C-alpha cells in the first residue's frame, strides 16, 4: 500500500482540524484531494509528510510508519507545500543543489529532474526571475529530486495562468505514471483531467472517496450548444435522451442528456437536419462540481 491513513485526528488547541480520517491509496494512483478552505487538506498533507504529528491515528507511506520512522518515510515522499516556499534569491541550479544536499542525492539527478519538469530554458536564471509557472516547476523538481515513490502536492496549480495551469497539470499526469500522487486543488476540471480518484473532505471528515469512473457512471451529459439563430423550445425537445434544457442566452442552450452514447454527434445531426449551424459546443461535465457543491454546501 502506497499510503495508509488510519483514524487520524488532529486538533490545534481547541480547533478540531481532522477527525478520525482513514483512507488507503494503492501504488500509482493520482488522487484529487478536495474540500473547501479550512477543511483540513493541508493539515492532512503535513501529517502525511511528517511535518506535523497527529493527536491520534497512524500514517504509513510505502508501508513505513511516518510517526515512528519519519526520516526513512521522507525518503519516499516528495512534498510541494502550499505557496511553494522557494529561496527566491537563489539560482535554479543552486537551489536544486542545496535540496540535493539535504537529501544526499547525486548531483547528476539535478539535470535529470530539470529535464523531467521542462526547466531547461530557465535553469540558468534566479528563481525570482521566473514566472509563477516556472517557479512551480522548480518546486516540483525539488520534490522529485530524490525520486520518491509518493508525491504530495498542496494546491500546485493555484495562481497560475490558464496556459501554465494546463502545463503543470500535464506534468503532474506525467509524474503520476510512476508515482503515487495526492494533490489538492479547487479546480474540478483539473481533477477530471488528471485524477483516478477523488477524496472530498469537509470540517476534518471525509465525505466522499470515489474513483472518477464511478462518478461518471451515471451517464449524465451536460452540453452547452450555440446555434447560428434562435430556435423554439419544441425543437430542443426533439433531441433524444434530453432530461432538461435551458435557454442560456439568445441562441445558446444548456442541455442535460442521460445516455450511454456520446450525444455530441447527435446534436450535429440534429443541427444539419434542421438547417442550423453550430457556432459553439461545450461539454460541461458538472458531475464532480455538482457533487462537490452538494456534499460541501
Ligand atoms: P485546508 O488546507 O483544507 O484549507 P487546513 O488544514 O489549512 O485546511 O486547516 C484546517 C483547520 O485548522 C482550519 O480551521 C484552520 O484554521 C485550522 N488551522 C490550520 N493550521 C492551524 C494552526 N497552525 N493553528 C491553528 N489552527 C490551524
Which domains are assigned to the chain?
Answer: 3-215 (3.40.50.300), 218-296 (3.30.2350.10)
Q: How is residue 9 written as a grid cell?
A: 485526528
**Which of 145, 153, 149, 4 is CA-nearest to residue 66?**
4
Pocket test for ligand 1, best of 8, 15, 49, 292 (most atoms within 8 A of CB): 15
Pocket test for ligand 1, best of 43, 81, 186, 292 (most atoms within 8 A of CB): 43
250/69 Cα distance (integer angstroms): 62
Q: Which residues contact 288 (CB under 8 A, 6 or more apart)?
A: 188, 191, 192, 198, 212, 215
Could you read off the pLDDT tens digit of each residue along the chain, which spans 297 residues? 899 999 999 999 999 999 999 999 999 999 999 999 999 999 999 999 999 999 999 999 999 999 999 999 999 999 999 999 999 999 999 999 999 999 999 888 999 999 999 999 999 999 999 999 999 999 999 999 999 999 999 999 988 888 888 988 999 999 999 999 999 999 888 898 899 999 999 999 999 999 988 876 677 888 999 999 898 888 899 999 999 999 988 899 999 898 889 999 999 999 999 999 999 998 876 568 777 877 887
Position 36 scores a pLDDT of 93
The answer to whether the CB of 244 falls within 8 A of the CB of 232 is no
Ligand 1 atom 7: residue of nearest CA: 42
Tell me which residues have their CB closer than 6 angstroms to ligand 1.
Answer: 12, 15, 17, 35, 37-43
Q: Ligand 1, closest atom to CA 44? A: 6
21/70 Cα distance (integer angstroms): 20
259/247 Cα distance (integer angstroms): 21
pTM: 0.81
Which contiguous run of DSSP H or E holds residue 150? strand 150-154
- β-bridge partners, 173: none
CA of 16 to the centre of ligand 1 (A): 9
Residue 21, number of CB atoms within 10 A of its CB: 24
232 alpha carbon, distance to own chain's centre: 40
The answer to whether the CB of 133 falls within 8 A of the CB of 168 is yes
Position 285 scores a pLDDT of 62
Pocket test for ligand 1, best of 8, 40, 53, 55 (most atoms within 8 A of CB): 40
Amino acid at each position: 500500500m502506497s499510503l495508509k491513513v488510519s483514524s487520524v485526528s488532529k486538533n490545534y488547541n481547541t480547533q478540531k482540524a481532522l477527525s478520525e480520517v482513514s483512507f488507503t491509496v494503492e501504488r500509482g494512483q493520482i488522487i484529487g484531494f478536495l474540500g473547501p478552505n479550512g477543511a483540513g487538506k493541508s493539515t492532512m498533507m503535513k501529517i502525511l509528510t511528517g511535518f506535523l504529528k497527529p493527536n491520534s491515528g497512524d500514517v504509513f507511506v510505502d508501508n513505513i510508519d511516518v510517526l515512528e520512522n519519519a526520516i526513512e518515510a521522507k525518503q519516499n515522499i516528495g512534498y510541494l507545500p502550499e505557496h511553494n516556499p522557494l529561496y527566491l534569491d537563489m539560482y535554479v541550479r543552486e537551489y536544486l543543489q542545496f535540496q540535493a544536499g539535504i537529501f544526499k542525492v547525486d548531483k547528476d539527478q539535478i539535470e535529470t529532474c530539470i529535464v523531467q519538469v521542462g526547466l531547461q530554458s530557465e535553469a540558468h536564471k534566479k528563481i525570482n526571475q521566473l514566472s509563477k509557472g516556472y517557479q512551480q516547476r522548480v518546486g516540483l523538481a525539488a520534490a522529485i529530486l530524490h525520486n520518491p515513490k509518493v508525491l504530495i502536492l498542496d494546491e500546485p496549480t493555484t495562481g497560475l495562468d490558464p496556459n501554465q495551469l494546463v502545463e503543470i497539470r500535464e506534468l503532474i499526469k506525467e509524474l503520476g505514471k510512476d508515482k503515487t500522487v495526492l494533490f489538492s486543488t479547487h479546480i474540478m476540471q483539473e481533477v477530471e483531467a488528471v485524477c483516478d480518484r477523488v477524496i472530498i473532505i469537509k470540517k476534518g471528515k471525509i465525505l466522499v472517496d470515489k474513483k472518477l469512473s464511478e462518478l461518471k457512471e451515471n451517464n449524465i451529459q451536460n452540453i452547452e450548444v450555440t446555434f447560428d439563430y434562435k430556435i423554439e423550445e419544441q425543437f430542443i425537445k426533439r433531441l433524444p435522451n434530453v432530461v432538461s434544457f435551458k435557454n442560456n442566452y439568445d441562441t445558446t442552450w444548456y442541455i442535460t442528456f442521460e445516455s450511454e452514447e456520446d450525444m455530441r454527434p447527435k446534436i450535429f445531426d440534429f443541427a444539419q437536419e434542421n438547417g442550423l449551424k453550430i457556432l459553439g459546443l461545450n461539454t460541461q461535465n458538472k458531475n464532480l462540481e455538482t457533487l462537490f457543491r452538494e456534499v460541501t454546501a
